Amino acid sequence: MNAFISMGIALIVGIAFGKLMGKFKIPSVAGYILAGLLIGVSGLHIIDNNLELQLSFLSDLALGIIAFNIGSELEISVIKRLGKSIFLIALCEALGAFILVTGISLLLTNDVSLSLILGAVASATAPAATVMVLKEYKSSGPLTSTLLGVVAVDDAICLMIYSVASAVAKVFVKNESLTFFKVVISPLFEILLSVAVGAALGIFLTYLLNKSRNKDELLIFSSGTILLLIGICSIFHLSSLLCAMTLGFMVTNVSNKSRKTFSALEKFSPPLIAGFFVLAGARLDLSMIPQIGVLGLAYLIFRLAGKLLGANLGGRLAKVPDKVRKNIGFGLFSQIGVAVGLAIIVSNEFSGTTLGSTVMTILLATTVVTEILGPICTKRAITNAGEIPDIAVPQKNIAC
């Protein structure tokens, strides 16, 4: 089918499902993903795998805008106030998922390499769905601020965990040597270079914004810089999430036109972001769910448990308020976008082995569940914390 027709149908059906979910007080993000399931490879095949590849640049741009918006929330005053709690919670929730999933996988399979890789990918949290729920309900408060910081830091921590786990796994699978460069220097260099590129582009964009005369120019300069950033990250294999977050951080803390810029971009981005989630749902294959077996079910359950317990522990160590500690883990379930990227990386690095195909199947199948559950639980968490305007705090602190 023609790409324009398919994308038009995707947006219209996505918005319709989003509004339908709203009637049941469910975040519209879940509706977009369900719409994708209906018209994608699990449903009517209006959007197939070939069309997804053609439209992948739209998903990349949407993810860049989302990451840019996350960075915009990280004002220096917020980091000074919440920096310690953000880092401790992010570290503990990522390690919690890694340790629990690695442990249960090792118990079930007795395969060290597979267990390490599953544990590493379990540590990742995709920020897109969480951020969109927070924006949809205009939430604000300590939980919202901390959650935005945690999903921003999580990407760097996951990259380090995966690099170490992958290097160790290759010793068993491919008899490769374990070196300090592979385990520490290479991932650290990628993180630092991603931040440096984002910071440099942030200075460049700030200069352009300060020279702009109207909102149209603000929009053109900001969207053009985000596209430039995505291209640079693609060529040099950098983290576009970290890079775009740093770009947003620089603009919000340096430019005197940051609010107007983010406002202009916010009016431009809804079709892109809705399309991103519909496309994400379209690639989810329901037929893979029966294939995951006990290992896949264990991965799903122990990943969620690791996120919850780890975030709670991090909150205790950081001495955050109870409403943050008890609820923040429920905003860390989503893996969409990140899951697909990780699945491709694992498949490429371990091609020709059963490890790659097993991890890809489990990741893509369990994502079907986490992408519906994630937005619902995020909304419930901010409701329980009393951070949605005009909604009273529930009596019981059960997040989902």
Q: Which domain holds residue 70?
A: 3-384
Count of domains in the chain? 1
Domain membership of residue 54 (yes or no) is: yes
pLDDT on residue 393: 52
CA distance 208 to 234: 23
pLDDT on residue 398: 46
Closest by alpha carbon to 121, among 152, 88, 87, 166?
166
pLDDT on residue 199: 98
Domain membership of residue 389 (yes or no) is: no
Helix axes 293-318 and 354-384, enclosed angle (nearest 10): 40
Domain membership of residue 391 (yes or no) is: no
pLDDT on residue 227: 97
pLDDT on residue 337: 67
Cα separations in angstroms, 31 against 11, 20, 88, 318: 11, 7, 33, 35
Domain membership of residue 395 (yes or no) is: no
Closest by alpha carbon to 227, among 109, 380, 376, 68?
68
With 0-12 / 13-18 / 19 or more C-beta atoms within 10 angstroms meaning exposed / middle / buried, residue 172 is middle
Amino acid at 107: L
pTM (2 d.p.): 0.88
Q: Residues 131, 133, 134, 135: what is their CA dihedral angle, to the nearest 10 degrees?
A: 90
Domain membership of residue 398 (yes or no) is: no
CA distance 166 to 327: 31
| Cβ-based neighbour number of residue 377 at 10 Å | 24
CA angle 187–188–191, rounded 5-degree value: 90
What are residue 381's phi and psi, to 5 degrees?
-65, -50
Digitized pLDDT (tens) for each residue of the chain, 400 residues in all: 788 999 999 999 999 999 999 899 899 999 999 999 999 989 999 998 888 888 888 889 999 999 999 999 889 998 899 999 999 999 999 999 999 999 999 999 999 999 999 999 999 998 989 999 999 999 999 999 999 999 999 988 998 999 899 989 988 887 777 788 888 898 899 999 999 999 999 999 999 999 998 999 999 999 999 999 999 999 998 999 899 999 999 999 999 999 999 999 988 999 999 999 999 889 888 888 888 889 999 999 999 999 999 999 999 999 999 999 999 999 999 987 676 677 778 877 887 778 888 888 898 889 888 989 999 999 999 999 999 987 645 544 444 6
Which tokens is 17 given? 């499902």
Residues in the chain: 400
The CATH code of the domain that includes 142 is: 1.20.1530.20
Domain membership of residue 392 (yes or no) is: no
Amino acid at 364: L
- Asked if 264 and 222 touch (Cβ cutoff 8 Å), the reply is yes
- Asked if 299 and 323 touch (Cβ cutoff 8 Å), the reply is no
Domain membership of residue 400 (yes or no) is: no
Domain membership of residue 195 (yes or no) is: yes
pLDDT on residue 361: 86
